[in-house]
Structure 1
C-alpha cells in the first residue's frame, strides 16, 4: 500500500502506558530499530512512576506523547490514540503493549502483511508458527479456552481474536467506527476483530511468540475477564436472536 500521491504510508505505533517506566526506554529503542520509518505515540494515563516524563525527554521527533488526566482503561487509551492517529493523517495504525511482551522485531512482518493487502494484521500467538514464552500452563489454557469460546460464540475464524499486537489500515478504523467501541479492557481486541470481520475486511494473522513481561505488573485482572465474557456472550446472543428473527416468515 502507499499513502496519498503514491508516497510511502505513514505508520503510527500506539502504545498505552501506566507505570511502565522500567521498560518504556527499551521498547522505544527496539521499535525504532526494527522499523525506523514509523512514528510512536505513547498514551500515558498519568503514570505516577514518571513514565510520561521519560517519553517526553526522548530526543527523536518520531516519538510523541499524549498525556491523559488519569487511568481510564485500555480501551479508552486506544480510542484516544486512534483519534490522534486519524487526526494527524496516518495511513497505518499499530497497537502494541509497552511491556515487551509483543516482540518489536515482528513489527516489519505485521506492516508487510498490510502492505500485501490485509486491512487488519494480527500478531497471533495461536496461528501456525506462533506461541508463548514464560507462561504457566494454567494461563495458556485460560487464553486458549477464551479464544475458543470467542470463535464458537461469535463464529470467527481467527485463531487469536484477543491478541493486542495488531496493525490496521486507517480507513478500516473509520469503517468499523473504532472510536465508537464500548469495551474498556482487552475485550477491545475482540470487539474490533468482530467489527472488522463483519465489515468484510481482509484479516491476516502473523505468527509471534508472546513473551511474559520481565518487569512491572500485569494490568490483567478479574474485571477485565468478566467484561470480556459478558460482552462476548451478549454479542453472541444478539446475533442468534437476529438470525431467528430473520428466519421468521414475513406477514403479508
Structure 2
C-alpha cells in the first residue's frame, strides 16, 4: 500500500501533527480565568453585554483576549455563567490551561447544571458533554463524555456528507436504489427490521451517563433531544424500519 492510497497520507504522524497544531495554549498575559471559588450565584444573575465582544483601548493584545471577545459574541444577553462555561471549554481544548480550569468546569456542572442546560444552545451543550471525555472527575463522566464525543462527531460527519445527496435530513431513503455491495472494513450489513446496532450504540452511553449525578442531567437532556430530533440517521432508520414492517405485514 502506497501513501497515495491512504485516506490521510502520512498516517498517524500526519494526523497527530494536525491534531496537535490546534492545541497551542492561549497567551493570557497578566489575565487569568476566575478562581475556583468564584461566586457562581452572582454569575447566574449577570448578563453578558455587547461591550464584552468589543475591543476596548485598555484591552490586552493577547490571544486569549481576542478569543474571549469572539466567544462573547455568542453569549450577548445570556448569563456570565454560561459565558464562563464556554471560556473553560475553549481552554480545555488546548494542551495547557490555567490550573483551576478543569476543577472549575466540573464545579459548574456539579452545582449549576439546571441553569446551564436552560441557557446554552445545543452546540454548546454538546461541547460541554464532549469536554467531560478528557476532563471529567470520575470514570463514568469520562466514559459517557467519550461516548458522546464519538457519537456526535460521527453524526456530524455523516449528516454533512448526506447533504450532498439532495435529501432533507428528515427524508429517509427509499428501498429501490439500495446497492448490495461490500461495506467498508468488511463490516456485516445491518438488518433493518431485526438489527439492534442503533440501540446498542445509544443505550450504553445513556446508561453510563445516568450513573453519575454530575453528568446525568446533561446526558439525559442531550439523549432526549436526539430521540426527539425529526431528522438524522437514527430517525431515518426508524422510519425505514416502520415502512419495511408495513410492507412485510401486507405480504
TM-score (structure 2 length as normaliser): 0.28
Q: TM-score, normalised by structure 1?
A: 0.28
Relative contact order (C-alpha < 8 Å, sep 6+): which is higher?
A: 1
Greater helix share, structure number: 2
Comparing both structures, which one devotes a greater share of its residues to strand? 1
| Rg larger in structure | 2
